[in-house]
Structure formats: structure tokens, C-alpha cells
Structure 1
Amino acid sequence: MAQSAHTGHLLGGPGILVQDDRRMVSEVSDWFRHVGRDTLLRQEIDREYPTEYVYFLKSSGLLERSLVPSWLGDHQDGWTPYRVAGLSEHLAFHSFTHWLMWHVSSLSAVPVWGSQNTTVQNTYREQFRAGMLGAFGMSERGAGADWRNTATSVKRLADAYVANGGKDYTGNGNVSSLITTFARNADGGDRDYVLFRADSHRAGFRLVRNATPEQMYTSEFRLTDYPFGDDDIISTGGQAFADAVNTINIGKFNLATAATGLASRALVETFHHTSHRSIFGSTTAAFGQNRDALCRATLRLIGMKAFTSRCVDHMHAAGEDDNRYVVLNSIAKAKVTHDVTDVIHSLCDVISAKAFETDSAFRPVMKYAEYLPRLEGTKYVNLMQAVRAAPAFFDFARNTEPVPDAADDALEAPRYLLSQRKLGGLEKLAFSDHIPSKEALGHLPAVALFFDVVERLGATLFTGPLDQRDQRKVQAFGEIFATAVYGTVIAEYARTHPDDEVWASVFSLILQDLALTLVTSRQDFAEHRELAESVLTAIQSVHTEWPAGRILDHLEAAATRASGLL
């Protein structure tokens, strides 16, 4: 197969995983093959709780090996942003339900490892070792993404605490003894919170229902004078709020890696079906419109995987003065998850009626992809957070070095990421210089034009902070900013993973996205009409021939590797 050594893995392989993690992925693949595709599809249709998967998590030690940092365990594996992101993508490729059960367990763990309470840390470590699923009790229907107004409360008694209230949309809440729960302190002030461990098996805990009519259990539960002690406290006060938000900033980034896992599965399923279906004397994969859709989907997926890979690099490299990952992760949650739904919609037109059949793995992928952009706030909430950093990002007079790719110490969890204490400061971040990427890739017309457009937009639209009260402008400018960051970060990846043919095609699609945003938001850019029109004219002049032969060759190889799953 003719493909670049630098971009071949992005076309469906484990691009985020460092080498040692592939052993873990291999175990997961072997288990899914053992269970079998037909069984998995039947269980999903029947909404059968995947008990045998819980047994697998226990027997394989996957929860401890992937979620407990090595410095707290007696194992060589452990939590790292690379391992969690790579495993997230891989599990979602196989099954959304099974991914979700593991993913919410990962969320429950993130604030615990930075806790000052070693007793609660030991509880989580030992329970993960025993195969206990975790849960993250943050969401409340009444508060939505306004977490400061959470209604669940904790009151201190003489020798214990009691909690009252309830949580919604909490995966694994039906079985977990490790429900990391966010509440306000009933005896404190407006910004006094508690993060504690709840146990679904204790008195005072009532499971209300599964909030979704699916195989996955997304619980609604209520706490009524639920008792717990100091040994269950993870953090308190403003720190509890910071820990909860940092969990979302770090852990829920993997909605994006799950999205790319789903898109990878949809792409391989579509190619497998269309390359084996012949009408009018040809396979349907060879039809012009289908070849075009398969190429577009693959190129978009390459871009998304390159972006999320660099997001993980930024998480690994984070430090006291470098929280750029917060901005990148917000964009990943807002943009990548939505872009994946567009990719899957386009592939649905290719695979056609097969997408809806009982025995089609495309059907659950298509359904569950719609969940991901909406499982954590909304696209607008994430754009609103990210766009605060726009003036800093477009301050091109900077000399900050880009973070390295998959660092040599990638097998060790970055302690800062699991113990950071502050929020905010996005307006003061220093982003890495885009000039090296511009110079390295400037011979590609689409990349050169991308950076020209970004510089012009930055000098015109983002000269100061946006008025957050103007929601429509925040949305429109946030889309532009997200696409600018997205392309710039992909260019960082492309600079160290050269493949002119692929990156020229990826950036031609990014330019199309910029053009679409300018057209659909023209009212919000009325005062910059001349700039917008000149940008659109320039974008229309760029034409890139896609490497269709290479892409189809790759898809054929990917389908072969996935034999036994399709």
C-alpha cells in the first residue's frame, strides 16, 4: 500500500498510543473478537447490560492499569493522557456502550489522584483493582452547565456528613461504589463546595431510572440523608469546584477521541460494504460520488486525529504557566465531536439503506455519534470558554516553543495535570509561534493561504476581548477562532509528519470550513464585509487534487485488519 510512514497511522491506526500501550489495545480487540460482532449487536438492540464486559474489566485489570497512576499502584502501566486517549478511541471503535462504561470510570478517577486524602485514594485504587466501575456525579437537570448553582448539598453533623439532592445523566450510577459526586456545602457560602465519594449500595441512595432508552445505563439517582465520613472526602471549598471543572477539562476531552473512534468504524464499515456490493457492473465504492465522499471523510478524519494527538501532547506538557490544553480541549469537544457527526452523515449517503439494518454496526455508530457533542454542556459553552483566549492566540509577536510530540516520558503520568489547582487565566496564555509551521508548509498553496487568512482575521476581528453578552457574535467569532486554532495545531503536527499530498488536501477542507462560517455568519461580519469577501475569493482560487488511490488502498487494508469485526 502506498502511504506515508508519517500519516499512514492516522488513517485508522492507533496514532495517539505510544508503543507499549498497543499490548493493552490488543487485549481489548481480542476480547471483542471473542464475544463476536453478532452478539454485540444483539445485546445493543435488546438493551442487555454487558455483564461479561464487567468480568473482562476485572479479570484483565484494565481499570487499574489504565486509570490509576503508576506512582499510586504496583503496576508498570497506569494513567497517562496518551494511554487514556488512545484506549478511548479504540473502545469507541468497538462499542459506544463499552466505551462509556470505561470513560465515566476515568472521569471519576481524575480528581481523586490530586486529593490530599490518601484514604480515598486507596479506596479508588483498590476498587479499580477489583474491577469496580466508577461514575461522575456532576450533572443536574436543573443546573445544566451552570455548575456553580448545583442543588445537591452536604451538611456536616457531629461525626459525619449527610448529602441530599440528586444527579442526572450519570453513567454507571446503577452499580458503582465510586461515584465522585459534586455538591455545595449547605453550611458554607456561595462558593463553598464538596467533592465526595458516594456508593450506590449504601442506605440513602436511591436509583430512579435509566435516563436513556439504551443499553448503556445513564442513571438518575437521589440522595436522601445519605451518610458518609471524612474518608470519602475528595476535596472541599473552592478547590472542590476547581477539581470538578479540571476533570471536565481533562477527562471529557475524550469525547473527541471517542468521536474519532466512531468515525473510524463508520468509515471502515462503509468501505467494506460498498467494496463488496456491485451494481451496474461496478462496486458502489467505485462510483464517483462515493469515492469523493470516502476521500472527504478520510481526510477530515486525518485532520481530527492529528489535532487530538497534539491536544494530548499539550496535556502531557502542561505546567504552572502553560494551560494551553484547556483551550485546545474545549475546541476538540466543540468542533471534533460535531465534525464527526457531519462525516458520519456523509458516509450514510454512501452506505445507504445498510446503515439502518438490524445487523449493521453502522447503525449504532450513527446513533451514538449524536450523543457526543451534547454529553458535556453544548458547543456554545465550549466555544465561549475557548474564545476568551483569542486575543492571546492572535498575538503573533511571540516566541513560545511548540510542545514536543509524544515525549520520551509519555509512560509516566504528568503529576501537574492531576494535581493542578487554579482555574482561569486563558486570556494570558502564550501560544506557540506559527511561523515555523508556516515556513515548513508554505510551499503548499492551501496551507499558505490558511495562514494568510488567519493572520488577516486575527489582525481585524480579534484585537480585543469579545463581549460575552453578545451570544450570536461569540458563536460566530468562536467558530472562526476554533477553525484557526484547529488548522494551526494540525500544521504543528504536519510539520513533523511530512506528507504534502495529504496535508494539502486536509487544508483545502479546512479552508472550505472557514468559507462556510463566513458565509453563514455574514450578518455578524457586516462591519468587516470587505475582508470577508476577499477571504472568500482567495479560498475559491485554491484547488487540490485528493490522493484518492492512496486513500482507497488504505481503506482496503484497514478493512482487512478489522476482519472478524465487520
Structure 2
Amino acid sequence: MNLLLNPKQYQDRHYPDERSKEIMLQTIQWFEEKGLAKQKEQYHNKQFAEDFQAFMTEEGFFETLFLPAGYGSDPHQYYSTYRMYEFSEICGFYGAAYWYCYHVSTLGLDPVLMGDNEEAKHLAAAKLKENAFCAFGLSEKEHGADIYATEMMLYPQDDGTYLANGSKYYIGNGNVASTISVFGKMADTGEYVFFVVDSAHPNYKLVKNIVDVNQQYVAEFELQDYPITKAEILTVGPKAWDDMLNTINVCKFNIGSGATGIVTHSFYEAINHAFHRHLYGQRVTDFPHVKRLFADAWLRIMGMKLFGLRATDYMRVASENDKRYLLYNPIMKMKVAIQGEKVHELLFDIIAAKGFEKDMYFEQAVTELTGFPKLEGTRHVNMALIAKLIPSYMFMPGEFEEVGKITDNRDDTFLFHQGRTRGYAQTKFHDYMIAYRRLAHLPNVQVYIEQIEAYKAYLALSGRELARQMTDFDYLLAVGELFTMVAYGQLIIESAQLEGVGDAVMNQLFDVFVRDFSAYAMELYGKPLNTEGQAEAIQKMFRRPIPNPEEFAKVLEEEVYSLADVYTQNP
């Protein structure tokens, strides 16, 4: 069963209402009517996506997608992570410029929706009708990811108002956004604060676009005695800090879905080219190394898609008593995006020079995707979060009702009321082996289970020594990559069961994962911090997948190569 996005067959997808289907189909139609040539012309001219902004504003798509019930003009309004996943993937499929404008708009609006100011929420919802693009004013030039050190200040005035002074850096849509959520501090108390500004205000100074390699406008801006009243203040105090982190929790989910869209388009271009090319008297796709490269690329994309769909379900059932999304979300951001980079490496080895041609989508995709794993926290920052959950996930499973596939019109309101960000390491998860046991009859899943057991034994052997070792970020990354593989495989198995993916595909997918697990184990094995006992334990993770040539050939012909010529973007 092929789950890859194909815009030419998208009308067959199921949605709970016509508005949702309309958003997806009309967006696809808009891109296809624009065509690849015009899209690439705008890309090479570094043209900001003003046409996308006008389209989103005119159709009101962001209003429908972004707002929970009670806001906006639609009486049937609801916020659906599933819809957001689908739309994000479509935007990524056609180009990072469009995806980025969408992504930073969600970042900009969510602090408003999480905040304490109801008037500001309704005003921001109304502004979406005039200008769909929003922005998130968090980072600063001198501090980067060190958001504790923010220097943006609100200075109290005698009349009860404030003047905002300071600058922000790395701010997507900062050139045009009418709703910009700005994170700063109260000058008199030092408390954190979120407030909202408009890029059209005369006291908002747009300094420059800090990038010059693509279509995005990533702004540096300054607020110079920008007047702020209580109507523009969203939240003050510890909750402002929590809202900032919770906004990132919600929105970085877009990174994985956008990356999945990008590499899916690249895959279609690569297989269309290779399938019709002959070298040395045979079709390129008949070379043994090309077969392996294409199979691995497709299997990795399938893994990305399966994980994303399942992680969406856990976002949608999130509650005060179920915060499993706090693990799956950073994996979606980091692991899925990095998998996308690996897919591009595989495909580039096949199409070689073709991947540099300016008329190909592939040429821009490879460049644009490299930024995705670096957005909303570096790999190190996200892995540090993930690693805190190792003890709870691996050794202390909790009890949860089974979660099914969720594509209905429920309102994912908890995401706007996540509460305090304390107690992260105590987050509970259900037993990961429930999923693995369902596919333990597959040879490569069984090998993978044995690798997981060896990893768990290494963790138990390491004991408290491991916490000290993981203060070294280099060591933490190596330990965390292996842990991530456990959760990644778990959700993919759960998703495959719901989507009807067959055993042959899953056994071949875990052929890839067994190799990955061994590679990450070798990376950990080489770390000088290991004790002799740890080094011996790590060696037990080194395993080879169990080959099945007939099964590989079947998956290649029936699943992978069957995708040749099924999609080509309109010229």
C-alpha cells in the first residue's frame, strides 16, 4: 500500500467535512496551475511568496486551519493536527518558501491563542482576513537559542501603557506580518512577557532580510519606543515562558511533515528520470546498486510518513494525563527531517548531475531541506529533551487506552492549554513492546527487538554513570540516537497496522532500521567515555539484517518501481 502524497490522486483522501477537502484540493490546484516553470523562476529570482500570501488571505485557509472553536467566522470551526499535517506536507511538496510562510504563521499566532487576552485573540483572528501571514518574535542576534538572555523590554509609562524597545533576529514573515508575537521582559520587574505588534506600525523598523539564498524573508527588526497598551499584552510572568515553549511544542511538528512532502516530490522526479534512462545497454533502474538505493529511499519515506501519521494521533489525544506527544513531537521535528536528508543522499547518488539542473524541483529541494533539522532548536537541543525521557520510556511503562487513527473533526484544544512545562522527565508512556510483539514474526523485526534488548541491557549496566556521561553532548547524542530508534520503530509499527501496510514492506523497512541501529551503536562504541563493560554491552547491538532477495524484488517492483510516471508537476 503506497501512502506517499500524490497531488494527482488527492481527491480520494477522506476528510470529515467539505471545507477541509476544499482547502487541500484548492491549494494543490493553485500550485499546479502555477506550474513548475513559474515556481522555479520565482525561486531563482528569490521572490517572496506574496502570491501565496494573497491566495491564503483571499480563501481564508489559515483562519480555518489555525483557529480552535470559538474564534473566527466559521460556526463549525475546529483545530485539527491532522489537517495541519496534511497541509504542511502539501506546502513542503511544492517548496520550502510556501511551507516556511505557513510554519512561521502558526508560530506567530499560537502565543496569542495560548495567552490570557481574549480581546487580542479575536483581533488576531479578524486580522487573518486581511493578512494571513503572522510572525514569531523570539530569537535575538546576540543570544540565538539562549532565550533566557532576551533583551527585548517593555518599559512602563506613567499612564499605564508601555514602550517596547529592542530587536529580534531570524524572524520569518517579519517583513509583512500584521500579527507578530514578541517575547521579552518587563523592564521594571524582569518578568517574561508576550505582546503583539504589527509590521506596518511606524515604530516597527524592518532592518534587513538576513538570508539571501532563497525566497524566504527572515527578518531582523527593531522596536523603537513602540507603544503597547494592555490590549496588546498577551501574557505576563511564568506563563509567558510556558506559552513560548508550548508554542514551539505544537509548531515544530510541522517540520517533519514539511520534510516528508519535500522528499516525496524529489522521489517522483528521481524515479521518473531514472526509469526512462538507459546506460551501457540497460535501464538505469536495473542496476543492482540503483535498486537498493531506490528501495531504501522509498522505505525511508514510508517510515517518515507512517511515523508522522501516528504521531498526529498522539497530538490529538493529548491531555493533562497523556503527554506522550512530548517525546513523539521532537522526534517528528528532528528524526523525520534528518531521514529526509538521507533520502536525498540516496536519490542524488542515482540521478547525479541531473539533480543540479535549474529546471528540476530536486535542485531546490536538496538545498532547502538542509535547514529543516536546524529549525526550532538544534539537533542537540532536541536530543537533550528526548534523552530525559529514556528512564520513563524504557523502564517504567504506564497504562493507557489504545489510540486509534484519528481524522475526525474533534477540536484539539489541549494544545492551547498545555499548562506548566515542569515534570517533563516524569512523562509516562505505554509499553513499546506491545507494538513490537505484533510484528515479532518478521525476521528483521525480531533482529531489531534483540538490538533493543541489548540497548536496554547497556542502559541498565550503565546505571547512574550514564547521567554523568551524558553531560557530554557528544555522548548524549550517540545514546539518544539509539533511544530515538526504539520510539521511531514503535510508532511506525502502530501506524502500519492502522494503514494496512503489508508484512513484506515492513520486513524490508526493518532491514533498513537494523542497519541504522548497528551504525548508531558503532558510533556509540567509539566514544572514549565508555567503560570496558559498556563497550562489551554495546557490541551486542551490532547485528546484520536477514536478507530475503525474493521479498526485496517483490517490494521493489510492486511498490517502488510502480511509482514511475504516476506524478509529474504541471510544467
Q: TM-score, normalised by structure 1?
A: 0.93
Structure 2 matches for 1:227-306, cutoff 5 A? 227-306=227-306
d(CA) in 1 for partners of 2:207 and 2:561? Answer: 47
Assess, with a 3 A threshold, how the Cα gap between structure 1 residues 561 and 417 changes in structure 2: closer, same or farther.
Answer: same
Structure 2 matches for 1:21-420, cutoff 5 A? 21-75=20-74, 76=76, 78-157=78-157, 158-189=159-190, 192-213=191-212, 214-395=214-395, 398-406=398-406, 410-420=408-418
* Contact kept? 1:169, 1:211, Cα under 8 Å: yes
Assess, with a 3 A threshold, how the Cα gap between structure 1 residues 258 and 17 changes in structure 2: closer, same or farther.
Answer: farther
Say what the alpha-carbon RMSD is for the aligned residues: 2.2
* Contact kept? 2:451, 2:540, Cα under 8 Å: no
Query: What per-residue deviation string (whole Å, max 9, x for no partner) do you get for residues 248-269 of structure 1?
Result: 1110121111111111011111
* Contact kept? 2:389, 2:425, Cα under 8 Å: yes
1:511 Cα shift?
1.4
Q: Percent identity?
A: 28
Q: TM-score, normalised by structure 2?
A: 0.92
* Contact kept? 2:454, 2:538, Cα under 8 Å: no
1:549 Cα shift?
4.6
* Contact kept? 2:397, 2:429, Cα under 8 Å: no
Assess, with a 3 A threshold, how the Cα gap between structure 1 residues 398 and 415 changes in structure 2: closer, same or farther.
Answer: closer
Assess, with a 3 A threshold, how the Cα gap between structure 1 residues 227 and 511 changes in structure 2: closer, same or farther.
Answer: same
* Contact kept? 1:153, 1:186, Cα under 8 Å: yes
- The correspondence for 1:563, drawn from 544, 550, 568, is 568
Assess, with a 3 A threshold, how the Cα gap between structure 1 residues 233 and 155 changes in structure 2: closer, same or farther.
Answer: same
Number of residues of Structure 1 aligned to a counterpart in Structure 2? 554
d(CA) in 1 for partners of 2:29 and 2:117? Answer: 38
Q: What is aligned with 2:515? A: 512
Assess, with a 3 A threshold, how the Cα gap between structure 1 residues 256 and 374 changes in structure 2: closer, same or farther.
Answer: same
Once the two structures are overlaid, the 10-residue window that deviates more, 359-368 or 526-535, is: 526-535
Assess, with a 3 A threshold, how the Cα gap between structure 1 residues 560 and 540 changes in structure 2: closer, same or farther.
Answer: closer
Q: Within the alignment, does 1:542 sit opposite 2:546 as a pair?
A: yes
d(CA) in 2 for partners of 1:338 and 1:209? Answer: 30
d(CA) in 2 for partners of 1:263 and 1:106? Answer: 22
Once the two structures are overlaid, the 10-residue window that deviates more, 274-283 or 47-56, is: 274-283
Q: What is aligned with 1:457? A: 455
Once the two structures are overlaid, the 10-residue window that deviates more, 209-218 or 21-30, is: 21-30
1:548 Cα shift?
4.4
Letter in 1 for 2:297: A
Q: What residue ranges of structure 2 are gaps of 5+ in the alignment? A: none
1:49 Cα shift?
2.4
1:375 Cα shift?
1.7
1:367 Cα shift?
0.4
Once the two structures are overlaid, the 10-residue window that deviates more, 464-473 or 205-214, is: 464-473
1:228 Cα shift?
1.7
Letter in 2 for 1:299: L
d(CA) in 2 for partners of 1:41 and 1:553? Answer: 32
* Contact kept? 1:268, 1:555, Cα under 8 Å: no
d(CA) in 1 for partners of 2:457 and 2:560? Answer: 41
Q: What is aligned with 2:472? A: 470
Q: What is aligned with 1:489? A: 491
Query: What per-residue deviation string (whole Å, max 9, x for no partner) do you get for residues 322-369 of structure 1?
Result: 211111111222211112111102211111111111211101101000
* Contact kept? 1:18, 1:82, Cα under 8 Å: no
Query: What per-residue deviation string (whole Å, max 9, x for no partner) do you get for residues 378-403 of structure 1?
Result: 10110001110100001155433443
Q: What is aligned with 1:521? A: 524
* Contact kept? 2:72, 2:122, Cα under 8 Å: no
* Contact kept? 2:119, 2:231, Cα under 8 Å: yes
Once the two structures are overlaid, the 10-residue window that deviates more, 432-441 or 300-309, is: 432-441
d(CA) in 2 for partners of 1:559 and 1:43? Answer: 27
d(CA) in 2 for partners of 1:167 and 1:548? Answer: 53
Assess, with a 3 A threshold, how the Cα gap between structure 1 residues 68 and 49 changes in structure 2: closer, same or farther.
Answer: same
d(CA) in 1 for partners of 2:557 and 2:21? Answer: 25
* Contact kept? 1:259, 1:369, Cα under 8 Å: yes
* Contact kept? 1:298, 1:551, Cα under 8 Å: no
Query: What per-residue deviation string (whole Å, max 9, x for no partner) do you get for residues 416-456 of structure 1?
Result: 11112110322212211223323211101211222232233
Query: What per-residue deviation string (whole Å, max 9, x for no partner) do you get for residues 271-319 of structure 1?
Result: 1111232333333233322221111000011111111112111111111
Query: What per-residue deviation string (whole Å, max 9, x for no partner) do you get for residues 88-118 of structure 1?
Result: 0111101110111111111112222232211
* Contact kept? 2:275, 2:283, Cα under 8 Å: yes
Q: What is aligned with 2:481? A: 479
d(CA) in 2 for partners of 1:515 and 1:556? Answer: 28
d(CA) in 2 for partners of 1:555 and 1:509? Answer: 15
Letter in 1 for 2:538: A
Q: What is aligned with 1:532? A: 538
Assess, with a 3 A threshold, how the Cα gap between structure 1 residues 60 and 554 changes in structure 2: closer, same or farther.
Answer: farther
Assess, with a 3 A threshold, how the Cα gap between structure 1 residues 552 and 159 changes in structure 2: closer, same or farther.
Answer: farther
d(CA) in 2 for partners of 1:25 and 1:506? Answer: 29
Structure 2 counterpart SS, 1:113: helix
d(CA) in 1 for partners of 2:451 and 2:502? Answer: 22
1:565 Cα shift?
3.5
Q: Within the alignment, does 1:435 sit opposite 2:433 as a pair?
A: yes
Assess, with a 3 A threshold, how the Cα gap between structure 1 residues 316 and 143 changes in structure 2: closer, same or farther.
Answer: same
d(CA) in 1 for partners of 2:77 and 2:40? Answer: 31
* Contact kept? 1:272, 1:556, Cα under 8 Å: no
Once the two structures are overlaid, the 10-residue window that deviates more, 541-550 or 83-92, is: 541-550
Q: What residue ranges of structure 1 are gaps of 5+ in the alignment? A: none
1:22 Cα shift?
3.7
Once the two structures are overlaid, the 10-residue window that deviates more, 520-529 or 266-275, is: 520-529
d(CA) in 2 for partners of 1:292 and 1:209? Answer: 46
* Contact kept? 1:16, 1:86, Cα under 8 Å: no
Once the two structures are overlaid, the 10-residue window that deviates more, 144-153 or 80-89, is: 144-153
1:168 Cα shift?
1.1
Q: What is aligned with 2:3? A: 9
Structure 1 counterpart SS, 2:88: helix
d(CA) in 2 for partners of 1:83 and 1:234? Answer: 26
1:503 Cα shift?
0.9
